[in-house]
């Protein structure tokens, strides 16, 4: 029986984050150049996954629910040009830091409030996107938190949240249970408690499972006391921490009446990639996975390979999703428009492409954003050259096909002229491949 008072637990969490705001990232640190981080937090990414439409972020209202010291709020501002950022957190000290951080980096179109997620309706706002990162698993009632966020989410809005993976996180839950039993978490942990944890873990024999499984190099090789304390407060001494399994995640979404959209790092939850020969699975798994739902595949993955600390996902209101390019009809391609993902549309990557074209070397389109791929995504230089106009503006499929036909006027084997139909076919194959990584986004018109 759990006799703990949720209000007391919440107050202890508030005290912990008032004393040690998280994340402990210097005020002057900018996420510019962290293209992969910006790619994840760009509303375009999740909106396209759901609706297969490219959205303009200008004027959109974005909530950072549980903003902490505001680094992710800054990321959201950088990733979504023209959007208004609103941040809330239970820790008033964290909210002050978040406000200072965005002001320091020149973002005036932002506001922050000391507010519980459950009290979000008090703001009287409806949001296009809600980012709830590293928060939901700390709430006394995660379902109430999801329901509160849903109530302020626009009908076509997207919600990003995550839960700690119970299987991957198991050693830390044992550590937390030990240190709760020892009385180190009866109140917000201080430096004294961290010293006891360090002395305990250092003194244990190497073969003791708790040390072997929860005391890695982040703790052994900490650079300074502040860094070590941050790691301990986020793991061994994290108040309110709870673990979940994939069925529990989907049960929460079902109870909150929210539709699952995708895992944020969807490419790294692919079950078939766990086998030596993904195209030649054992018969049982080949048949089972062919008919398995997304939920079932994700559950199988976590049971096979619980390596992800976070079950990081996007969800939204129930409703009709957009049609994937894989399911397009021939007529859908006619008049379709290709967009370069905004996070790839930068001068650095364009210069890399120009260099590859002039030196006839392969172009790695994945060099800045590797998360959607399992390895480098390389394009032959003359193929990549067909995409060059995308760095200036979106292009009709016909225009890209015409450029392809100009660059590749003849078949290299037969020397027969490339027909317009052949050019369109080649371009469709190229764009379909890149759409899978969301490097190129395709819209029907």
For position 206, what pLDDT does the model report? 94
Q: Is 262 exposed, middle or buried (0-12, 13-18, 19+ CB in 10 A)?
A: middle
- 6-167+242-316: CATH topology is Rossmann fold (3.40.50)
Lowest mean pLDDT among 3-7, 269-273, 326-330, 406-410: 3-7
**Helix, strand, or coil here: 151?**
helix
Mean pLDDT, the chain, rounded, equals 93
Place of tokens 């990003």: 160
In this model, does residue 6 exceed pLDDT 70?
no
The answer to whether 239 and 8 are in contact (CB under 8 A) is no
In the chain, where the domains are located: 6-167+242-316, 170-233, 326-443
| Helix ranges, 234-386 (H) | 246-256, 283-291, 294-304, 330-333, 347-359, 381-384
For position 362, what pLDDT does the model report? 97
In this model, does residue 10 exceed pLDDT 90?
no
Lowest mean pLDDT among 220-229, 257-266, 368-377, 378-387: 220-229
For position 19, what pLDDT does the model report? 73
The enclosing H or E element of 160 equals strand 153-165
**Helix, strand, or coil here: 38?**
helix
- Rounded to whole angstroms, the Cα distance separating 96 from 145 reads 23
pLDDT by residue (tens digit) across 57-79?
999 999 999 999 999 999 999 99
Lowest mean pLDDT among 4-8, 239-243, 276-280, 427-431: 4-8
The enclosing H or E element of 155 equals strand 153-165
Which of the four pLDDT bands, split at 50, 70 and 90, describes residue 3? very low
C-beta pairs of 198-201 under 8 Å, 24+ apart in sequence: 198/228, 198/232
Give φ, ψ of 400 to 5 degrees: -70, -40
- 228-239 mean pLDDT: 89
- 12-34 mean pLDDT: 83
The answer to whether 22 and 93 are in contact (CB under 8 A) is no
**Helix, strand, or coil here: 274?**
helix
In this model, does residue 1 exceed pLDDT 50?
no
pLDDT by residue (tens digit) across 404-439?
999 999 988 888 999 999 999 999 999 999 999 999
Q: Record the pTM.
A: 0.93
What does the buried/exposed string (b/e) look like for 117-136 if buried means 16 or more CB atoms within 10 Å of the residue's CB? bbebeeeeeebbbbbbbbbb
Give percent of the chain with pLDDT exceeding 90.
86
In this model, does residue 152 exceed pLDDT 60?
yes
Place of tokens 């007529």: 331
């Amino acid at each position: 029986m759990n006799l703990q008072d949720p209000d007391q637990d919440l107050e202890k969490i508030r005290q912990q984050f008032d004393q040690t705001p998280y994340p402990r990232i210097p005020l002057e640190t900018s996420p510019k150049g962290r293209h992969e981080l910006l790619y994840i937090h760009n509303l375009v990414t999740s909106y396209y996954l759901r609706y297969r439409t490219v959205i303009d972020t200008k004027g959109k209202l974005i909530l950072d629910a549980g903003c902490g010291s505001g680094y992710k709020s800054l990321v959201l501002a950088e990733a979504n040009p023209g959007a208004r950022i609103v941040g809330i957190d239970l820790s008033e000290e964290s909210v002050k830091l978040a406000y200072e951080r965005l002001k320091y980096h020149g973002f005036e179109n932002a506001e922050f409030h000391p507010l519980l997620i459950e009290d979000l309706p008090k703001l009287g706002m409806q949001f296009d996107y809600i980012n709830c990162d590293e928060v939901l698993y700390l709430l006394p009632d995660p379902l109430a938190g999801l329901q509160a966020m849903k109530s302020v989410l626009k009908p076509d809005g997207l919600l990003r949240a995550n839960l700690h993976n119970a299987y991957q996180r198991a050693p830390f839950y044992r550590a937390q249970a030990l240190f709760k039993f020892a009385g180190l978490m009866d109140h917000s942990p201080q430096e004294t408690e961290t010293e006891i944890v360090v002395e305990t873990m250092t003194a244990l024999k190497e073969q003791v499972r708790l040390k072997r499984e929860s005391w890695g190099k982040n703790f052994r090789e900490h650079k300074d006391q502040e860094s070590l304390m941050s790691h301990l407060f986020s793991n061994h001494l994290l108040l309110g921490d709870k673990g979940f399994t994939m069925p529990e995640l989907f049960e929460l979404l079902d109870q909150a009446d929210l539709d699952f959209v995708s895992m944020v790092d969807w490419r790294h939850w692919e079950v078939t990639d766990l086998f030596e020969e993904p195209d030649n699975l054992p018969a049982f798994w080949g048949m089972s996975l062919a008919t398995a739902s997304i939920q079932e595949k994700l559950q199988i993955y976590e049971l096979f390979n619980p390596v992800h600390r976070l079950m990081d996902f996007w969800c939204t209101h129930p409703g009709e999703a957009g049609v994937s390019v894989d399911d397009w009809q021939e007529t859908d391609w006619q008049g379709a428009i290709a967009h370069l993902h905004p996070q790839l549309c930068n001068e650095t990557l364009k210069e890399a492409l120009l260099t590859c074209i002039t030196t006839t070397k392969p172009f790695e389109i994945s060099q800045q954003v590797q998360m959607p791929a399992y390895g480098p995504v390389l394009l032959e230089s003359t193929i990549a050259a067909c995409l060059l106009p995308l760095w200036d503006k979106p292009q009709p499929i016909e225009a890209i096909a015409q450029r392809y036909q100009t660059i590749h006027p003849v078949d290299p084997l037969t020397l027969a002229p490339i027909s317009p139909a052949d050019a369109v076919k080649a371009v469709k194959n190229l764009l379909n491949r890149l759409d899978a990584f969301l490097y190129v986004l395709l819209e029907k018109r």
